[in-house]
Amino acid sequence: MPSNAILREARQLHQVSERLDSLAEEDNLFSEALITISGNIRQTATLLEVLVVTRMGFPGPAPADA
């Protein structure tokens, strides 16, 4: 089902965001940029989850908890 595939991609984007946050914590030249990019990726993942819930009526637990 397309909604499950979209939610899988959103979960992967959340994981990418977390990894970028971890890299940013290493206090390097790119920390500020990594934090910004990480936040943008996290927002995109959340928007995908909202899209699934509002357009497809995805039943069950909240997507972030899945």
Separation between Cα atoms, residue 23 and residue 41, nearest integer Å = 15
Residue 56 contacts residue 50 (beta carbons within 8 Å): no
Give domain status of residue 63, yes or no: no
Name 1's Cβ contacts closer than 8 Å, sequence gap at least 6.
none
Q: Convert the pLDDT of each residue in 9-55 to its tens digit.
A: 999 999 999 999 999 998 789 999 999 999 999 999 999 999 998 98
Give domain status of residue 48, yes or no: yes
Give domain status of residue 38, yes or no: yes
Identify the domain containing residue 42 by its residue range: 2-57
The total number of residues shown for the chain amounts to: 66
| Overall number of domains in the chain | 1
Q: How confident is the model at residue 64, as a pLDDT?
A: 57
Separation between Cα atoms, residue 6 and residue 66, nearest integer Å = 13
Q: Give residue for tokens 């357009």.
A: 55
